[in-house]
Structure 1
């Protein structure tokens, strides 16, 4: 519908009649309503946070999206942000990663050491190479570390190879993710289910659980593999369960051992559905999450 911006008086002079500020406000409100509709329908594609108009003043103040997000996370202030919105992080290797808002305060005040306000973040892509979850087909913990994930090869790889690449400013703003993690170990032989859980630190970079991705355990031990985990809004958009590397869909590891087996670990299939694989399979990528909100 055409909009009148001015009228011409009898002398031919143009007289402005449009309230451009009101029009801009109405247009922005309409756009925000559409984004909210998409989010409620789990189809919101996300926006580059650096381009969000309502945040431009704060971006100028903080100097970077990372600094703005961290300040907002610590304050528990999530206005003008949505799960799926994204920014970029360049590792010291030179590779730039897209990292997305996964959930707001997923574990606020939870854990045996209460977590402060935070923003859960997700790497959009899988890691550059496949990594064995374990070097043998074993999904059990050890006497020294009874949580299978924390005793695994992939946990060691994340902390010895991936985390050192994370730029120092991002790393400084990552919280230690302390959670209620499954335990699976007995000295007399391998277990095929997890009989308990314990408070453990997953570190600054971590793999996801089935509950965070799908909302509940699929192949993991009911209860003990879930612990305090909750669904993340980012993965409610099922498109985000499909992980890509260079445009190709890939399988990606989770941090949960399969119930009914001493050799298999949960993963997400390249089609996005819940799956599992032998722990030593060398054809699956890690995909990382982290909690932003540390001083």
Structure 2
């Protein structure tokens, strides 16, 4: 049986009216931090089933920046929400925190939903770059044993194949998600971004892909927005960049849920392993509005 996880939205409503853009401060009891993890479905990866790849790790994102969650290889996904709807205000609307630094980016695509059913991608700088694939699908195949690390093979809808390699010296646990149970395959679909790991003659550098992605050392990464110092060292996202599955711009007043998935499918030689997006928290800039 195939467990299919569809990351690109089915055709939805294209317009939600004009944007309500205001950032006048008001008294509020809302928290700016994540309030609830809706779902966590990792793809196979070296941190899956470890302290960074469990449901407990996902729940550590609630209430602040207290931990990090690995999404695994291409397609691994987390969905979360705040205790309020994120509003479309002037400038960035929310911030995602990862563990990127200059020379180490593991970009994830970000999608938003006003109701948990209709999903829209926030466009990024590399969406149409050479090497990007708009409608990409990967199917991972369960290893024969799950007691210890073993490579996890995959095939894609472009005739490609490969494996999440086992780095058993440093990550000896199984890389197949426990949450997948006895399923023989896991399928993920979404936009694939270009490979970003490049050998510079001495080591692999995981280059950034510009603005619009999670866990990515982008030009806005160190900026402080909304006068909140907690926004430094995080990727900033603007609901004005929402597009539907055809790439057509969508106007959103508010969103209820946010979804992030690993968008690079690259295995890096040596001990770096697969490119896997990490999420270490999120902050809403409209919590006090």
Q: TM-score range by the shorter chain?
A: under 0.3
Higher relative contact order (CA 8 A, sep 6+): 2
Between Structure 1 and Structure 2, the one with more helix by share is 1
Q: Greater Rg, structure 1 or structure 2?
A: 1
Structure richer in strand, relative to its length: 2
Query: So what's the TM-score if we normalise by structure 2?
Result: 0.22
